[in-house]
């Protein structure tokens, strides 16, 4: 008892110091009151999150083998607390002490042994996965590239120690005829049979063996606790908190507005010296940002799905979080010190604490190439099993670089000027927004001041849909389909301006606010209630981000509306399209807004169409490379993302590649044209929007719309 209690006391002091340090570090972060308010507003959602994400391991089980292994190891951690309760009782009250029912009911002993055996199987699985996917063998193709692999092996070893000492301790109980669960605890009973030759029951030898087993089991747990709070396995305790305080949209939702000191930033009254413009130094992160950093498990699932990482670029979402975490830990002594204490630090100490190290820079914590490689596709956030919000942190660092440092890729500056001066990224005249209507054989209502009476939907055409030749085909197809279905709609024409998505995703929040407020005023004055949009970026901004600036509308993507019209019998595909088609999921339609079904439903209703999914699809879909304002930035590092995606599409041997986004249409089309020029793709291969397939079948067109 003396040895056990002394060890427990030392452990609690060491673990307590670390936990106190982390608590103080979190408190230095910027306030984020909305995180707490959302839990108070909707505690039911938090309970559901804990049940599904933490205890149900929903995201981890998407990767079946590794997910099952982690499921059993995690539940072993929870259920074997009862074994440590047993050990604690015997440590304090003697080897024969047992709590009635909890330590005497056989089914409990069976559950304990079963989960312990499954934990051993999980450890063996993890060992195999880590050997197979070792960074030494696979380099960048390993999701563990950049992770602290030695620490992971130590944790696996410590979990193994917990299990074998448990069976040693309980086996000694069996051999000493002091085990209360009987044969129900099958594994412990089996070990006990092997240990019966050590000595007679209740002999000094067996009592000593049982006591040693008890102390070993407790000692391993105490050492494990100290290791856990000082390692990436701190997520054992922090993951439930991170899940509790995560953002809770259905999908990735809107970008968070710029905040300073816990309040939305007012650009008219903001002071760069007093207010926080994004993240320019580690102290600018919120407490939730620090929680994200310390919760990272280094599993590399985000990295394995990242389109930038998979095409040879320096961005790894995992490494962004780890580098921020390591910098925060290095700088923490300075951040936690008083002004008087800071003055006493030597230059060498400040260097070690990275006091003057810039957050973003060639010699900074995050290299600019890392920051600007992100497409905002959301694959990292979708895959993260502990709900880290990588995109929020990347965008907040971009905001500081753009708005305070004026440091961003030069070609993006042209896009920003065009948005400010012309209201669209291409800098075209606003009068060109109606030219697509000239090719239609019916009249399209154009909003003057108010929405025409009886109008059901405002058709938000978008900049690409109105000005980009390939996207115009989608616009005309959707307009025709709505007309055929008898849906009364109107467009804004010259009154429409870019939603501001490219500016916001670049980090220029001010331009987004300017364009957004202009559009919201136009929409509200016109009395708009319902909007249909063909561009997923416009759709996401109108539906999820405009409520932040006073624009609340019922917004649908054109695939959602068209699928509904087909289901209601208002659109009937009749002409067969005998083609093999593979569908590309736009990131801002799929992962960001969970619209996977309707585009596929539309294709399924077209006679003759054979659909073939790419390997990476739906929530694991691969980006086209245009998101995060990358549409207007050159891709100079590694393989082009759109080329990688088209290579995957070509692997299905399609006659047509379909999608539901004008940006994807352009990016995939460009890559396919390159493949045609090099002879790697058949000349007839085209990229079309699903609406173009539908109009061909509804109207009975014999030739593909792309051949016009």
If you average pLDDT over every residue of the chain, what do you get? 93
Residue 20 has pLDDT above 80, yes or no: yes
Q: Which of 487, 486, 499, 490 is nearest to 539 (CA)?
A: 499
Residue 126 has pLDDT above 80, yes or no: yes
Cα(449)–Cα(234) distance, rounded to whole angstroms?
58
What is the helix (H) or strand (E) element at residue 656, kind and residue range? Answer: strand 656-659
Q: Which of 209, 115, 207, 205 is nearest to 168 (CA)?
A: 209
Beta bridge partners of 687: 657
Residue 203 has pLDDT above 90, yes or no: no
The band of 435, judged by pLDDT with boundaries at 50, 70 and 90, is very high
Read off φ and ψ for residue 616, nearest 5 degrees.
-100, 110
Query: If you ran DSSP here, which 8-state letter would residue 92 be given?
Result: H
Cα(568)–Cα(531) distance, rounded to whole angstroms?
19
- pTM (two decimals): 0.93
The band of 54, judged by pLDDT with boundaries at 50, 70 and 90, is very high
In the CATH scheme, what is the code of domain 423-563?
3.40.50
Q: Is the distance from CB of 701 to CB of 695 less than 8 angstroms?
A: yes
User: What's the fold here for domain 567-707?
Assistant: Rossmann fold (3.40.50)
The band of 42, judged by pLDDT with boundaries at 50, 70 and 90, is confident
Judging by DSSP bridges, how do beta strands 610-611 and 656-659 pair with one another?
Answer: unpaired
pLDDT score at 707: 42
Q: Is the distance from CB of 186 to CB of 113 less than 8 angstroms?
A: yes
Residue 323 has pLDDT above 60, yes or no: yes
Cα(379)–Cα(588) distance, rounded to whole angstroms?
11
List the end-to-end C-alpha distance of the chain, in Å, as a whole number: 86
Q: What average pLDDT score do residues 294-315 get?
A: 96
Q: What percent of the chain has pLDDT over 70?
A: 99
- CATH 3.40.50 residue ranges of the chain are 423-563, 567-707
Cα(683)–Cα(666) distance, rounded to whole angstroms?
17
Q: What average pLDDT score do residues 365-374 get?
A: 97
Q: Where would I find the H helices in 337-468? A: 339-344, 347-352, 368-371, 379-383, 390-403, 410-422, 463-467
The band of 673, judged by pLDDT with boundaries at 50, 70 and 90, is very high
The band of 705, judged by pLDDT with boundaries at 50, 70 and 90, is very low
Q: How many residues does the chain have?
A: 708
Q: What average pLDDT score do residues 35-43 get?
A: 89
Q: What average pLDDT score do residues 690-697 get?
A: 96
The band of 701, judged by pLDDT with boundaries at 50, 70 and 90, is low
Residue 299 has pLDDT above 80, yes or no: yes
Close Cβ partners of 2 (under 8 Å, ≥ 6 residues apart): none
Q: What average pLDDT score do residues 298-313 get?
A: 96
**Helix/strand/coil for 575:** coil
- CATH 1.10.1060 residue ranges of the chain are 270-408
Q: The tokens of 662 are what?
A: 């004008």
Strands (E) across 553-639 are located at 554-557, 580-583, 610-611
Cα(184)–Cα(165) distance, rounded to whole angstroms?
19
**Helix/strand/coil for 446:** strand
pLDDT tens profile 578-601: 999 999 999 999 999 999 999 999
CB count in 10 Å sphere of residue 561:
24
The number of angstroms, rounded, from the C-alpha of 370 to the middle of its chain's C-alpha atoms is: 17
pLDDT score at 649: 97
Q: The tokens of 397 are what?
A: 């660092």
**Which CATH number fits the domain 270-408, given the four candidates 1.10.1240, 1.10.1060, 3.10.620, 1.10.600?**
1.10.1060
Q: How far is CA 346 from CA 327, 341, 349, 356, in A?
A: 19, 11, 5, 13
pLDDT tens profile 256-282: 999 888 888 888 888 877 888 999 999
Tell me the longest C-alpha to C-alpha distance in the chain: 100
The number of angstroms, rounded, from the C-alpha of 355 to the middle of its chain's C-alpha atoms is: 30
pLDDT score at 700: 82
What is the helix (H) or strand (E) element at residue 489, kind and residue range? Answer: strand 489-491
Query: Which burial class, exposed, middle or buried, applies to 19 when counting CB atoms under 10 A from its CB (0-12, 13-18, 19+)?
Result: middle
**Helix/strand/coil for 581:** strand
Cα(122)–Cα(70) distance, rounded to whole angstroms?
7
Q: Is the distance from CB of 401 to CB of 370 less than 8 angstroms?
A: no
Residue 708 has pLDDT above 80, yes or no: no
Q: Which of 432, 435, 434 is nearest to 446 (CA)?
A: 434
Cα(49)–Cα(56) distance, rounded to whole angstroms?
9
Residue 452 has pLDDT above 70, yes or no: yes
Place of tokens 């407490």: 287
Residue 330 has pLDDT above 70, yes or no: yes
Residue 702 has pLDDT above 60, yes or no: no
Q: Which residues of 431-467 are buried (b: 16+ CB within 10 A; e: fewer)?
A: eebbebbeeeeeebbebeeebeeebebbbbbbbbbbb
């Amino acid at each position: 008892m003396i040895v056990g209690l002394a060890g427990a006391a030392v452990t609690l002091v060491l673990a307590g110091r670390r936990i106190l340090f982390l608590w103080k570090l979190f408190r230095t972060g910027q306030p984020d009151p909305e995180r707490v308010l959302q839990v108070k507003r909707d505690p039911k959602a938090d309970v559901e999150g804990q049940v599904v994400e933490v205890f149900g391991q929903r995201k981890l089980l998407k990767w079946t083998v590794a997910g099952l292994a982690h499921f059993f190891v995690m539940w072993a951690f929870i259920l074997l607390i009862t074994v440590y309760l047993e050990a604690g009782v015997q440590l304090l009250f003697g080897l024969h002490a047992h709590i009635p029912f909890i330590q005497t009911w056989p089914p409990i002993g069976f559950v304990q042994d079963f989960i312990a055996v499954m934990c051993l199987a999980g450890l063996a699985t993890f060992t195999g996965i880590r050997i197979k996917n070792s960074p030494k063998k696979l380099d960048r193709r390993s999701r563990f590239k950049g992770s602290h692999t030695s620490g992971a092996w130590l944790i696996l070893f410590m979990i193994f120690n917990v299990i074998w000492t448990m069976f040693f301790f309980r086996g000694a109980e069996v051999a000493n005829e002091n085990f209360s669960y009987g044969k129900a605890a099958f594994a412990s009973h089996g070990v006990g049979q092997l240990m019966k030759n050590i000595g007679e029951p209740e002999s000094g030898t067996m009592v000593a063996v049982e006591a040693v087993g008890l102390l070993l089991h407790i000692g391993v747990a105490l050492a494990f606790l100290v290791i856990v709070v000082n390692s990436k396995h701190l997520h054992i305790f922090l993951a439930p908190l991170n899940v509790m305080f995560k953002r809770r949209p259905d999908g990735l939702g809107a970008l968070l507005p710029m905040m300073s000191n816990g309040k939305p930033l007012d650009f008219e009254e903001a002071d760069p010296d007093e207010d926080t413009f994004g993240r320019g130094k580690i102290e600018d992160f919120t407490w939730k940002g620090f929680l994200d950093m310390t919760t990272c498990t280094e599993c590399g699932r985000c990295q394995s799905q990242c389109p930038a990482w998979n095409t040879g670029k320096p961005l790894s979402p995992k490494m962004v979080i780890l580098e921020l975490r390591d910098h925060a830990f290095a700088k923490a002594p300075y951040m936690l010190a008083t002004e008087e204490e800071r003055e006493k630090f030597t230059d060498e100490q400040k260097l070690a604490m990275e006091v003057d190290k810039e957050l973003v820079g060639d010699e900074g914590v995050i290299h600019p190439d890392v920051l600007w490689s992100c497409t905002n596709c959301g694959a990292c956030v979708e895959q993260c099993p502990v709900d880290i919000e990588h995109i929020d942190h990347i965008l907040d660092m971009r905001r500081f670089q753009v708005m305070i440092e004026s440091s961003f890729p030069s070609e993006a500056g042209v896009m920003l000027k065009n948005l400010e001066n012309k209201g669209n990224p291409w800098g075209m005249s606003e009068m060109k927004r109606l030219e697509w209507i000239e090719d239609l054989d019916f009249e399209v209502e154009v909003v003057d001041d108010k929405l025409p009476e009886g109008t059901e939907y405002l058709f938000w055409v978008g900049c690409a849909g109105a000005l980009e030749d390939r996207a115009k085909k989608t616009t005309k197809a959707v307009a025709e389909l709505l007309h055929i279905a008898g849906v009364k709609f109107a467009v804004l024409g010259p009154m429409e301006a870019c939603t501001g998505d490219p500016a916001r995703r670049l980090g220029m929040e001010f331009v987004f606010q300017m364009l957004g407020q202009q559009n919201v005023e136009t929409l509200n004055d016109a009395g708009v209630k319902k909007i249909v949009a063909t561009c997923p970026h416009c759709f996401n901004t109108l539906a999820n981000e405009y409520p932040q600036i006073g624009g609340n509308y019922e917004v649908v993507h054109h695939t959602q509306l068209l699928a509904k019209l087909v289901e209601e019998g208002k659109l009937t595909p009749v002409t067969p399209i005998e083609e093999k088609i593979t569908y590309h999921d736009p990131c801002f339609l799929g992962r960001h807004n969970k619209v996977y079904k309707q585009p596929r439903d539309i294709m399924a209703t077209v006679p003759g169409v054979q659909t073939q999914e790419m390997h990476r699809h739906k929530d694991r879909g691969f980006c086209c490379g245009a998101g995060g304002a990358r549409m207007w930035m050159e891709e100079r590092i590694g393989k082009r993302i759109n080329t990688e995606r088209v290579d995957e599409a070509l692997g299905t041997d399609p006659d047509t590649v379909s999608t539901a986004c004008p940006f994807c249409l352009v990016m995939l089309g460009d890559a396919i044209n390159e493949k045609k020029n090099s002879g790697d793709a058949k000349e007839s291969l085209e990229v079309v929007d699903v609406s173009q397939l539908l109009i061909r079948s509804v109207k009975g067109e014999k030739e593909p719309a792309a051949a016009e």
